[in-house]
């Protein structure tokens, strides 16, 4: 008998630790041996929250125990009670991500429990979440780990404690598609379900789904086409609220927020506590309570408080204001230190706890947030003699952080959707501030995957709700050009050329005979400006989109064709590049001849010349639709003529590009007045639009960070792949400016001062292998790798 036990232990050891490691790509090209599993009787596509468990015996603590994990809609994986993984990264059914993790640090000799929380939000699903049906899969990497493969040996229970808190659109009076809130009944909750030793004997046997789990491109059926995750795991950082701004029928001190004391709400009392983070954040709130059986605890979240007219006003103000926003709810069961955590993160500056206590006092033990965002590192820096610019930098960086997770978000509170127009600007911030191109690559890939039969990309993706903005398809092409200029990644870009050509063909097919755009389908959004286009219910659309003849849309198409031509020529498709250049020239000529108003010295939005905007003239400068010699005077008029339809924060990004292109960069800092006004209004992130605005956090408004480095410090790629650099600073009235930004080969760092005579002096540091030029007021100096002192004198006339 003892001899048999020895051989069993030896066999288990060989199975668990003695196998050769598989190639990293093995599960990308072979059918999985694990099964997709689900609850045996619950509806496959309806709302439901499920717990899965399996306990295994290991003869020793492993040195390596790698598994691959995914689920639909989402999962949270625990090992021996420890949360270790959250996923999958959002995408679509043809590209369904799985995460890979080594569980060895969480395992021990003997009994080990793997547990997973899996949820399906049903009808209340966020628009950013694509789904097939409820399912969970965990695949051991080698024979050593196959003991944990999902199959019928796993157990499952549906957690009936959960029900959705529906977003009250009528109450919120806005477009909000980030998903429902969570209501949890503590009395029905299986507390400790993820812990070792929990009694799961009453749980059901998991049901293996009939289809084979497979990587992308294999098999005969659709469902989930598995691909490895391409981005890192999100940040998970504890953070605490900073102040108690209001307390009704209760007393709460800041010591509670710091985790130093509890708060008791007496029986049969309704207490309200308004808490202030001090700045906007994305976090999973974790509220721990004791006693108070039957008490209803509502957590409300808001970017800002509102008055009776639903105006936000100064974001620091709470007097005469109330919280109107997203909510979660927990019904206490009377237990000791039970923690409620919503399934998805919440966005808030203000968090309000409303306690409706019943026959027993409720104890609020603790409240902590777990900050979540894409793990961008702030590798860039900027400083200048104007110290007020530092606050714009800091608030801009917070804005960019909150608008980036598993995808870029247009806004974290209302939508969490990855729109191309927003993403192009966000991606540039990622490259310049963090030097991290992984989320940009994923976004470009997501849009390529979104293309449909017309040839266009969808306007936002991944998305469960189909939407098309043809102008955003053009900006996707421009995003590819941006990436090409900043990264050497030929294989990736070559794969995108057919999709780029398809987008451009759609627009070319809709040109009128006079080379202006003809009638266009879908939503041809340009900017949230005060357009007066008839028949456009969605807003943001200038005249000439639906009927044809828009100078703005025609010039945006030409703008894109010129960038596409550079990319296609680089990869040897010279005929296509020549065609794009010739077509762009014809379109620019058509706009100039039909839309130029000589009396006003401006380009009109359409040949009827009834509408004039900054947008048309900005694009005319960026495309050279007006002669270079006239561009400085035109741009000066664009910046000063208030009768023009004004660009909002989004399209000002293109205004700033025009400022830089025309050599008028010294006027950039004066354009920051709207950003300073947002700071004076107490915003801690930059808003979607000028007041009144829906969203207080929109990364397209964080563009000043890019401009501080690209315009003020003047750092830009001089050729594709950022192989060399062109540095042309614009200091205006700054005594000095200095900046550092990450480059694939190392950091680029500059410091410049203007001399009393109007010259330039300073230092430039370039990475090994990178050269470039410094330009200042028409003069040029060659730059080499390493640190160098530079001086550009100005000769007196």
DSSP state letters, 647-707 = P-HHHHHHHHHHHHHTT-GGGSGGGGHHHHHHHHTT-SS--SSSSS-S-S--GGGGTHHHH
The CATH classification of domain 237-371, taken from the options 1.10.10.60, 2.60.40.10, 1.10.40.50, 2.60.120.260: 2.60.120.260
| Structural domain boundaries in the chain | 2-168+188-228, 237-371
Mean pLDDT of 499-513: 98
pLDDT tens digits, residue range 22-48?
777 899 999 999 999 999 999 999 999
The torsion defined by the Cα of 413, 419, 425 and 426, in degrees rounded to 10, comes to 50
pLDDT tens digits, residue range 460-490?
999 999 999 999 999 999 999 999 999 999 9
Distance of CA 600 to the CA centre of its chain: 41
pLDDT tens digits, residue range 321-367?
999 999 999 999 999 999 999 999 999 999 999 999 999 999 999 99
Which one-letter DSSP state was computed for residue 187?
Answer: G
Provide DSSP, 350-382: EEEEEEE--SS-EEEEEEEEEE---------EE
What is the predicted pLDDT for the residue at 552? Answer: 98
Beta-sheet pairing, 270-291 with 362-371? antiparallel
Give the residue among 130, 138, 122 at the shortest CA–CA distance from 84.
138
Q: Where are the alpha helices (DSSP H) in 2-161?
A: 2-17
| Separation of alpha carbons 623 and 319, rounded Å | 50
Q: Is 98 left (phi over 0), alpha (psi -120 to 50) or beta?
A: beta
pLDDT tens digits, residue range 605-651?
999 999 999 999 999 999 999 999 999 999 999 999 999 999 999 99
What is the predicted pLDDT for the residue at 221? Answer: 84
Q: What percentage of the chain has pLDDT greater than the value 70?
A: 96
Give the residue among 555, 536, 696 at the shortest CA–CA distance from 614.
555
Beta-sheet pairing, 207-208 with 214-215? unpaired
Helix 470-486, helix 438-449: angle, nearest 10: 140
What is the predicted pLDDT for the residue at 3? Answer: 36
- Report, in this order, helix, strand and coil percent for the chain, each rounded to 5: 30, 30, 45
Residues 215 and 26: beta-carbon distance below 8 Å: no
Beta-sheet pairing, 270-291 with 338-340? antiparallel
Please give the class, per CATH, of domain 2-168+188-228. Answer: mainly beta
Asked if 2-168+188-228 and 237-371 have one fold, the answer is: yes
Q: How many CA atoms lie within 13 A of 238 on its CB side?
A: 8
Beta-sheet strands, E only, within 196-251: 204-205, 207-208, 214-215, 225-228, 237-239, 243-248
Which one-letter DSSP state was computed for residue 186?
Answer: G
What is the predicted pLDDT for the residue at 794? Answer: 76
| Separation of alpha carbons 162 and 566, rounded Å | 54
Mean pLDDT of 51-66: 97
Q: Lowest-pLDDT range, 79-83, 307-311, 454-458, 724-728?
A: 307-311
Give the residue among 335, 312, 338 at the shortest CA–CA distance from 323.
312
Q: How many CA atoms lie within 13 A of 637 on its CB side?
A: 18
**203 backbone dihedrals φ, ψ, rounded to 5°:** -70, 155
What is the predicted pLDDT for the residue at 170? Answer: 66
pLDDT at residue 13 tops 70: no
pLDDT tens digits, residue range 263-272?
999 999 999 9
pLDDT bracket for residue 303 (50, 70, 90): very high
Sole residue written with tokens 């911030």: 429
pLDDT at residue 168 tops 80: no
User: Judging by beta carbons within 10 Å of its beta carbon (0-12, 13-18, 19+), is residue 743 exposed, middle or buried?
Assistant: buried
Residues 556 and 619: beta-carbon distance below 8 Å: yes
Q: How many CA atoms lie within 13 A of 168 on its CB side?
A: 9
pLDDT bracket for residue 532 (50, 70, 90): confident
pLDDT tens digits, residue range 751-784?
999 998 889 999 999 999 999 999 999 999 999 9
| Separation of alpha carbons 520 and 76, rounded Å | 44
Q: Where are the alpha helices (DSSP H) in 487-573?
A: 490-494, 497-509, 551-570
Q: Where are the alpha helices (DSSP H) in 233-361?
A: 254-257
Let me know how many helices (H) and strands (E) the chain has, helices first.
Answer: 16, 35
Sole residue written with tokens 């799961």: 200
pLDDT tens digits, residue range 536-569?
667 999 999 999 999 999 999 999 999 999 999 9
Beta-sheet pairing, 181-185 with 724-727? unpaired
SS3 state of residue 53: strand
Task: Please give the model's pTM, rounded to 2 decimal places.
Answer: 0.95
| Separation of alpha carbons 211 and 220, rounded Å | 10
Residues 430 and 404: beta-carbon distance below 8 Å: yes
Q: How distant, in Å, are the alpha carbons of 80, 87, 407, 660 from that of 235? A: 22, 13, 14, 35
């Amino acid at each position: 008998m003892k001899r048999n036990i020895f051989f069993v232990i030896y066999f288990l050891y060989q199975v668990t630790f003695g196998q050769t490691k598989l190639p990293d790509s093995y599960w990308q090209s072979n059918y999985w041996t694990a099964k997709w599993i689900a609850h045996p009787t619950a509806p496959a596509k309806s709302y439901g929250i499920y717990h899965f468990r399996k306990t295994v015996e290991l003869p020793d603590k492993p040195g390596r125990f790698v598994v691959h994990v995914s689920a639909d809609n989402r999962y949270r994986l625990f090992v021996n009670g420890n949360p270790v993984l959250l996923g999958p990264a959002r995408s679509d059914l043809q590209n369904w991500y799985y995460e890979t993790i080594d569980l060895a640090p969480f395992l021990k000799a003997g009994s080990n429990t793997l547990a997973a929380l899996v949820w399906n939000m049903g009808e209340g699903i966020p628009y950013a979440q694509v789904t097939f049906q409820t399912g969970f899969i965990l695949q051991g990497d080698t024979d050593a780990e196959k003991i944990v493969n999902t199959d019928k040996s796993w157990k499952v229970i549906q957690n009936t404690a959960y029900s959705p808190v529906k977003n009250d659109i009528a109450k919120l009076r806005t477009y909000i598609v980030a998903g429902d809130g969570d209501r949890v009944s503590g009395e029905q909750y299986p507390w400790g379900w993820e812990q070792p030793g929990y009694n799961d004997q009453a749980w059901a046997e998991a049901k293996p789904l009939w289809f084979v789990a497979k990587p992308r491109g294999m098999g005969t059926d659709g469902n989930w086409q598995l691909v490895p995750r391409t981005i890192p795991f999100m940040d998970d950082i504890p953070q605490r609220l900073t102040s108690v701004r209001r307390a009704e029928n209760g007393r709460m001190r800041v010591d509670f927020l710091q985790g130093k004391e509890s708060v008791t709400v007496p029986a049969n009392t309704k207490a309200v506590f308004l808490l202030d983070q001090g700045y906007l954040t994305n976090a999973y709130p974790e509220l721990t309570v004791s006693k108070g059986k039957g008490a209803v605890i509502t957590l409300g979240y808001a970017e800002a408080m509102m008055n009776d007219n639903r105006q936000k006003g100064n974001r620091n103000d709470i007097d005469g204001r109330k919280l109107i926003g997203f909510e979660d709810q927990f019904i206490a069961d009377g237990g000791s230190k039970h923690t409620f955590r919503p399934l998805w993160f919440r966005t808030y500056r203000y968090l309000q706890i409303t306690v409706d206590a019943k026959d027993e006092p409720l104890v609020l033990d603790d409240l902590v947030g777990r900050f979540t965002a894409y793990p961008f590192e702030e590798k860039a820096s900027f400083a200048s003699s104007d110290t007020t610019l530092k606050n714009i930098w800091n608030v801009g960086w917070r804005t960019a952080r909150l608008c980036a997770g598993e995808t870029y978000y247009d806004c974290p509170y209302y939508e969490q959707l990855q729109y191309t127009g927003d993403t192009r600007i966000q991606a540039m911030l990622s490259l310049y501030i963090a030097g991290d191109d992984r989320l940009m690559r994923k976004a470009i890939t997501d849009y390529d995957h979104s293309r449909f039969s017309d040839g266009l990309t969808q306007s936002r993706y991944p998305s469960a709700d189909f939407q098309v903005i043809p102008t955003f398809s053009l900006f996707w092409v421009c995003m590819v050009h941006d990436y090409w200029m900043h990264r050497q990644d030929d294989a990736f870009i070559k794969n995108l050329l057919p999709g780029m050509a398809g987008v451009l063909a759609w627009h070319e097919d809709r040109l009128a005979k006079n080379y202006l755009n003809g009638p266009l389908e879908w939503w041809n959004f340009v900017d949230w400006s005060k357009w007066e286009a008839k028949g456009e219910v969605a807003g943001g659309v200038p005249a000439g989109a639906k009927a044809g003849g828009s100078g703005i849309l025609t010039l945006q198409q030409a703008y894109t064709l010129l960038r596409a031509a550079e990319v296609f020529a680089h990869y040897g498709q010279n005929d296509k590049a020549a065609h794009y250049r010739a077509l762009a020239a014809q379109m620019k000529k058509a706009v100039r001849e039909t839309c130029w108003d000589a009396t006003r010295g401006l380009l009109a939005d359409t040949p009827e010349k009834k509408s004039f905007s900054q947008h048309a003239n900005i694009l005319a400068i960026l495309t050279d639709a007006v002669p270079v010699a006239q561009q400085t005077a035109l741009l000066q008029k664009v910046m000063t003529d208030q009768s023009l339809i004004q660009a909002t924060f989004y399209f000002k990004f293109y205004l700033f590009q025009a400022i830089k292109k025309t050599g008028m960069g010294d006027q950039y800092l004066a354009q920051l007045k709207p950003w300073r006004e947002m700071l004076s209004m107490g915003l801690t992130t930059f808003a979607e639009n000028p007041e009144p605005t829906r969203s207080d956090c929109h990364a397209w408004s964080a563009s000043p960070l890019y401009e501080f480095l690209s315009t003020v410090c003047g750092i830009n790629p001089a050729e594709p792949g950022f192989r060399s650099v062109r540095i042309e600073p614009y200091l205006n009235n700054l005594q000095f400016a200095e900046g550092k930004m990450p480059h694939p080969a190392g950091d680029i760092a500059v410091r410049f001062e203007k001399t009393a005579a109007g010259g330039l002096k300073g230092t430039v540091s370039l990475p090994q292998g990178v050269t470039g030029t410094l330009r200042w007021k028409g003069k040029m100096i060659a730059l080499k790798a390493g640190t160098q002192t530079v001086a550009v004198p100005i000769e007196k006339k």
